[in-house]
């Protein structure tokens, strides 16, 4: 029976508030701050600015390189919210978001006294979505800590602005409570539990708060949550206009991922300038653990609402005596833009309120399993609403690599993946699988399936019909016989592959087919191979330096173990001379010839003569001709991606060959598909890449126009997907290079998602037959020559499939690097613009 490891992390539900960032919406923005004050973990709920035209203040140089939809999609990709709370009805629909993830701010409740249900399309019923009320947090803290007489007085505060125009700033930085009568108990609970110090906020009080370890309602709302921020930047002071909602929204979002961030209102800058300089001097110290003398410096970041003239007038008041103690930044960080691996990119904070790991047996009949959820300690047993989230990772205990454990981002596709028995929504994103909980100490009932079935279900949600092809059934049998990618290693040598193929091909068929296969038949006659011959071949492979790997000494044993070959006796018929092979189970004193169908006696008088030989015969899918219908290449290519980053952090869900019909009616076949995700050690993983593969064996001029056109059609349907051309040959032929290069240039163009349209990866025998467990970098490094030069730079991240595509295109297609190609295109466009006559 299969076993699966379920890793669970408890965190609050992450809501994204969608609002127009203008002064007219101050009341809505104030309401958002108040709601987040009352939500467990509310400080880390992002606020996404909505606009239909990029406003002039968005960038200081007034050059807008992205469209509004791209910017908002960038925010959504960065924060990956569980649900969208729209401040005005209809904003989410304009973005094309499914109604299952959208909640109007008027319908959003965090008061436990409110019960209800929501009916969504297709009669699917979802529980009312509400965040977890902080009242339970207050109650637990009071019972554990604050009801006792403390030796040292606590530093809990409740901040009120001195003037109404500063009310929004106070709510953004410290939090504030709703004024509705039905919700007044939350503020009362805060006051009763903590007896907070009331502070009327002005510049002097703001300085005192920053210099002391005070706790505000926003801070208390994140109690019992371990916050891991990947931000590597130095301390930042954000100078903003406290009356501008857009500045406050920017500060709110920066705080979700920056480690040290202070907000300084430009209205109070004159009185707080000395504090800013003291803060910079205090933090100017050597970077811990750095032996190169790198110092920490404070960055002064100016908000987008401040003019250049205003910034220039402020900078002289920030000068300090220490050299390089401060830095000036007048542009807002574009954290929503995807960056290359050459540049460090920020990531949202990882929130953890509890973790567990469980190993569970899967029911073989329907793929179901049960595991225990994680719940906050401060809630009641039943909440009747989805109030918190469990982040779940699945991993096969025995690495057969068949169960689907990686899924694409499903924010825009709430019908997939449907893993829960009660049809509750399961979100898939870079964190993992997100399950929303409503019962404390409850059980989850899920079912899993193999990657092929999962891909067919997913394609159906994308209006693509798919079914397993004949070659796909063979590939599935090959992978199951070899029990995953580790078993594929035992056939990953051209000599082994050719030997298996020759044993699968009939003599008559092989002679009719061309010179190359005739040569193979002369070398490997018949459908069987003698034990002595195969043993000698394997001994020769073991002495080959290229054929390194765990299978060298156990190849023959493993081929038998995985039912690739089977030992039997080859006996020549006395009547017709036909060579018959008999498994050990069917050996008798009287045998029946499979050719003439007549009985003959086993040669007992002289069994050691040339009429009797111990031979091996291929079994099951390995007995199919044409390299198991071309599936060996697909199996080797999938194994390559699984081991791309030494198999440590990358994850793969794969599908065998599928016949597909697109929405337009176009038909095609893809040899293999996979979702590939590279992971970080402690941060959120990277996004999931969709791979479409075309596999070829050793045939000449095998990548035809129709094959590449099929890949191109798939890329048009799924922008940003990765296209793979895999062959067991050492290199592509001239005509193949030209055709694949044309596809590669087409894929380098920008797509609708802001990424390259469809990167093309070329895999040859060097990658497919490698036995190294040290990854792609080591393979090319040991190969030397051009490969070693391409892989040498320390910044190369080959586990990034777009980088891998660039490297293989340079090596096997002779194309310039992506960046050189892009620079040349940019120069050509620039030259054309200069030639155009002025109007």
CA distances from residue 37 to 41, 162, 197 in whole angstroms, order as listed:
9, 20, 17
- The pLDDT of residue 414: 83
SS3 assignment, position 624? coil
Q: In DSSP terms, which residues pair with 529 in a beta bridge?
A: 616
CA distance 193 to 199: 17
Over residues 226-264, the pLDDT tens digits come to 999 888 788 999 999 999 999 999 999 999 999 999 999
DSSP symbol at 145: I
CA distance 768 to 492: 7
Q: Residue 438 pLDDT > 60, yes or no?
A: yes
- The pLDDT of residue 512: 39
- The pLDDT of residue 682: 63
CA distance 690 to 652: 10
SS3 assignment, position 578? coil
CA distance 426 to 389: 10
Q: Residue 566 pLDDT > 80, yes or no?
A: yes
CA distances from residue 361 to 119, 358, 554 in whole angstroms, order as listed:
34, 10, 31
Q: Are 83 and 129 in contact (CB under 8 A)?
A: yes
Higher pLDDT, 540 or 710: 710
CA distance 59 to 65: 10
CA distance 249 to 234: 21
Q: Which residues are CB-neighbours of 548 under 8 A, at least 6 positions away?
A: 771, 772
Under the banding of pLDDT at 50, 70 and 90, the label for residue 544 is low
Q: Would you kindly state where each structural domain of the chain is located, as residue ranges? A: 12-127, 472-625, 640-831
CA distances from residue 91 to 17, 101, 395, 699 in whole angstroms, order as listed:
11, 12, 38, 55
Q: Are 20 and 88 in contact (CB under 8 A)?
A: yes
Structure tokens at 116: 């209800």
Sign of CA dihedral 32, 33, 37, 41: positive
Under the banding of pLDDT at 50, 70 and 90, the label for residue 124 is very low
Highest mean predicted confidence (pLDDT) among 106-110, 305-309, 523-527:
305-309
Q: Are 445 and 421 in contact (CB under 8 A)?
A: yes
Under the banding of pLDDT at 50, 70 and 90, the label for residue 520 is very low
CA distances from residue 186 to 41, 104, 141, 386 in whole angstroms, order as listed:
15, 22, 14, 20
Q: What are phi and psi of 569, to 5 degrees?
A: -110, 135
SS3 assignment, position 370? strand
Strand bridging mode 388-396 / 432-437: antiparallel
Highest mean predicted confidence (pLDDT) among 321-325, 334-338, 733-737:
733-737
Higher pLDDT, 114 or 282: 282
Q: Which of these ranges, 92-96, 190-194, 501-505, 691-695, has the smallest mean pLDDT?
A: 501-505
- The pLDDT of residue 510: 37
Q: Which residues of 20-45 are buried (b: 16+ CB within 10 A; e: fewer)?
A: bbeeebbebbbbbbbbbbbbbbbbbb
- The pLDDT of residue 806: 94
- The pLDDT of residue 550: 52
Q: Which of these ranges, 396-405, 454-463, 514-523, has the smallest mean pLDDT?
A: 514-523
- The pLDDT of residue 276: 94
- The pLDDT of residue 681: 65
Q: In DSSP terms, which residues pair with 4 in a beta bridge?
A: 360, 396
Q: Look over the chain and give the mean of its residue pLDDT values, rounded to a whole number.
A: 86
Q: What is the dihedral of CA 171, 176, 181, 182, to 10 degrees?
A: 110
Detail the DSSP E strand segments found in 619-711. 651-655, 658-661, 667-670, 672-677, 689-696
- Arithmetic mean of pLDDT, 411-420: 88
Under the banding of pLDDT at 50, 70 and 90, the label for residue 646 is low
Structure tokens at 205: 């009080």
Q: Are 349 and 257 in contact (CB under 8 A)?
A: yes
- The pLDDT of residue 761: 97
Q: Residue 114 pLDDT > 50, yes or no?
A: no
Strand bridging mode 722-727 / 689-696: parallel
- The pLDDT of residue 435: 93
pTM above 0.85, yes or no: yes
Over residues 770-783, the pLDDT tens digits come to 876 667 888 898 88
Q: Is 280 exposed, middle or buried (0-12, 13-18, 19+ CB in 10 A)?
A: buried
Q: Residue 526 pLDDT > 60, yes or no?
A: no
Q: Which residue has the tokens 């106070």?
A: 170
Q: Residue 839 pLDDT > 60, yes or no?
A: no
Q: Residue 660 pLDDT > 60, yes or no?
A: yes
| Residue 650, H or E segment | none
| Residue 139, H or E segment | helix 135-141
Q: Residue 548 pLDDT > 70, yes or no?
A: no
- The pLDDT of residue 683: 63
pLDDT-above-70 percentage for the chain: 89
| Residue 826, H or E segment | helix 818-835
Detail the DSSP E strand segments found in 667-805. 667-670, 672-677, 689-696, 722-727, 760-763
Higher pLDDT, 148 or 340: 148
- The pLDDT of residue 766: 92
CA distance 513 to 744: 32
The DSSP string of 427-446 is EEETTEEEEEE-BTT-EEEE
SS3 assignment, position 18? strand
- Arithmetic mean of pLDDT, 727-737: 94
Q: Which of these ranges, 402-411, 511-520, 649-658, has the smallest mean pLDDT?
A: 511-520
Q: Which of these ranges, 48-52, 244-248, 604-608, has the smallest mean pLDDT?
A: 604-608
SS3 assignment, position 4? strand
Detail the DSSP E strand segments found in 415-534. 426-429, 432-437, 443-447, 465-468, 528-530
- The pLDDT of residue 513: 42
Q: Residue 133 pLDDT > 90, yes or no?
A: no
Q: Which residues of 213-244 are buried (b: 16+ CB within 10 A; e: fewer)?
A: ebbbbbebbbbbbeeebbbebbbbbbbbbbbb
Show contacts of 209-212: CB within 8 Å, 24+ apart.
Answer: 209/157, 209/159, 209/174, 210/262, 210/275, 210/279, 211/275, 212/155
- Arithmetic mean of pLDDT, 477-481: 93
- The pLDDT of residue 384: 58
CA distance 98 to 111: 25
Q: Residue 701 pLDDT > 70, yes or no?
A: yes
Q: Are 555 and 496 in contact (CB under 8 A)?
A: yes
Structure tokens at 772: 């190294």
Q: In DSSP terms, which residues pair with 228 in a beta bridge?
A: 350
Q: Which residue has the tokens 């924010």?
A: 411
- Arithmetic mean of pLDDT, 484-513: 75
Over residues 783-821, the pLDDT tens digits come to 889 999 999 887 888 888 999 999 999 999 999 999 999
One-letter-per-residue 3-state SS of 94-136: HCCCCHHHEEECCCCCCCCCCCCEEEEHHHEEEECECCCECHH
Q: Residue 131 pLDDT > 70, yes or no?
A: yes
CA distance 144 to 378: 11
Q: Are 447 and 368 in contact (CB under 8 A)?
A: yes
Higher pLDDT, 152 or 693: 693
CA distance 254 to 329: 14
Under the banding of pLDDT at 50, 70 and 90, the label for residue 63 is low
Over residues 360-398, the pLDDT tens digits come to 988 877 889 999 999 998 887 655 567 899 999 998 887
């Amino acid at each position: 029976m299969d076993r699966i490891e379920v890793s669970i992390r408890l965190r609050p539900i992450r809501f994204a508030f969608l609002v127009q960032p203008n002064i007219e919406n101050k009341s809505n923005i104030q309401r958002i701050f108040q709601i987040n004050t009352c939500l467990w973990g509310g400080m880390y709920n992002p606020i996404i600015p909505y606009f239909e035209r990029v406003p002039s203040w968005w960038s200081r140089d007034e050059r807008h390189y992205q469209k509004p939809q791209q910017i908002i999609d960038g925010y959504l990709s960065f924060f990956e919210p569980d649900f969208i709370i729209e401040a005005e009805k209809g904003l989410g629909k304009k973005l094309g978001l499914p109604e299952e993830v959208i909640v109007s701010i008027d319908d959003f409740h965090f008061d436990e006294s409110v019960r209800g249900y929501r009916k969504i399309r297709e009669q699917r019923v979802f529980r009312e979505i509400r965040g977890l009320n902080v009242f339970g947090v207050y109650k637990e803290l009071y019972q554990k800590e604050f009801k006792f007489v403390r030796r040292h007085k606590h530093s809990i505060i409740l901040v009120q602005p001195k003037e109404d125009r500063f009310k929004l700033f106070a709510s953004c930085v410290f939090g504030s409570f709703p004024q509705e009568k039905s919700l007044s108990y939350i503020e009362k609970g805060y006051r009763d539990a903590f007896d907070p110090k009331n502070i009327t906020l002005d510049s002097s009080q703001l300085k005192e708060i920053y210099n002391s370890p005070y706790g505000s309602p926003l801070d208390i709302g994140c109690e019992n949550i371990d916050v891991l921020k990947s931000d590597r930047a130095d301390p930042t002071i954000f100078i903003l206009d406290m009356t501008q909602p857009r500045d406050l929204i920017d500060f709110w979002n920066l705080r979700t991922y920056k480690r040290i961030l202070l907000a300084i209102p430009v209205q109070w800058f004159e009185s707080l300038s000395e504090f800013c300089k003291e803060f910079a001097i205090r933090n100017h110290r050597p970077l811990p653990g750095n032996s190169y003398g790198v110092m920490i410096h404070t960055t002064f970041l100016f908000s987008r609402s401040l003019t250049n003239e205003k910034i220039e007038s402020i900078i002289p008041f920030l000068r300090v005596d220490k050299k390089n103690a401060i830095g000036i930044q007048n542009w807002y960080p574009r954290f929503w833009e995807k960056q290359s691996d050459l540049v460090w990119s920020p990531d949202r904070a990882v929130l953890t309120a509890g973790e567990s790991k469980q190993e569970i047996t899967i029911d073989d009949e329907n793929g179901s399993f049960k595991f225990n959820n994680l719940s906050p300690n401060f809630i009641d047993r039943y909440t009747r609403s989805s109030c918190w989230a469990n982040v779940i990772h699945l991993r096969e205990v025995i690495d057969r690599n068949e169960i689907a454990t990686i899924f694409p981002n499903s924010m825009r596709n709430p019908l997939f993946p449907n893993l829960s028995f009660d049809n509750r929504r399961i979100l898939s994103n870079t964190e993992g699988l997100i399950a929303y909980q409503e019962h404390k100490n409850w059980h989850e009932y899920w079912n899993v399936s193999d990657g092929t079935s999962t891909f067919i279900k997913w394609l159906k949600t994308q209006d693509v019909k798919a079914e397993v092809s004949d070659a796909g059934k063979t590939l599935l049998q090959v992978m199951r016989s070899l029990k995953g990618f580790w078993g594929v290693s035992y056939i990953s040598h051209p000599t082994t592959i050719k030997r298996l193929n020759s044993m699968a091909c009939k003599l008559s068929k092989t002679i009719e087919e061309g010179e190359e296969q005739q040569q193979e038949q002369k070398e490997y006659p018949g459908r069987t191979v003698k034990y002595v011959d195969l043993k000698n071949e394997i001994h020769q492979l073991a002495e080959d330096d290229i054929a390194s790997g765990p299978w060298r000494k156990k190849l023959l044993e493993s081929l038998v173990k995985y039912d690739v070959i089977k030992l039997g006796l080859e006996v020549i018929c006395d009547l017709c001379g036909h060579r018959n092979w008999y498994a050990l189970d069917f050996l008798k004193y009287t045998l029946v010839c499979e050719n003439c169908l007549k009985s003959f006696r086993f040669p007992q008088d002289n069994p050691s003569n040339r009429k009797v030989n111990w031979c091996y015969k291929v079994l099951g899918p390995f007995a199919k001709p044409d390299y198991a219908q071309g599936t060996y290449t697909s199996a080797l290519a999938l194994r390559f991606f699984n081991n791309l980053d030494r198999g440590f952090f990358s994850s793969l869900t794969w599908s065998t060959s599928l016949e597909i019909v697109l929405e337009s009616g176009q038909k095609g076949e893809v040899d293999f598909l996979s979702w590939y995700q590279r992971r970080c050690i402690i941060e959120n993983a990277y996004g999931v890449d969709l791979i479409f593969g075309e596999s070829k064996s050793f045939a000449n001029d095998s990548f035809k126009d129709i094959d590449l056109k099929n890949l191109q059609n798939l890329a048009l349907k799924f922008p940003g997907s990765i296209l793979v051309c895999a062959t067991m040959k050492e290199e592509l032929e001239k005509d193949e290079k030209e055709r694949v290069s044309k596809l590669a240039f087409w894929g380098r163009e920008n797509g609708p998602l802001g990424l390259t349209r469809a990167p093309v990866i070329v895999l040859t025998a060097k990658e497919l037959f490698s036995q190294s467990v040290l990854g792609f970098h080591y393979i090319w490094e040991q190969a030397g020559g051009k490969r070693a030069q391409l892989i040498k730079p320390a910044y190369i991240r080959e586990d990034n499939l777009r980088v891998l595509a660039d490297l293989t295109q340079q090596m096997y297609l002779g194309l310039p690097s992506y960046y050189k190609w892009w620079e040349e295109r940019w120069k050509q466009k620039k030259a054309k613009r200069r030639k155009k006559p002025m109007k």
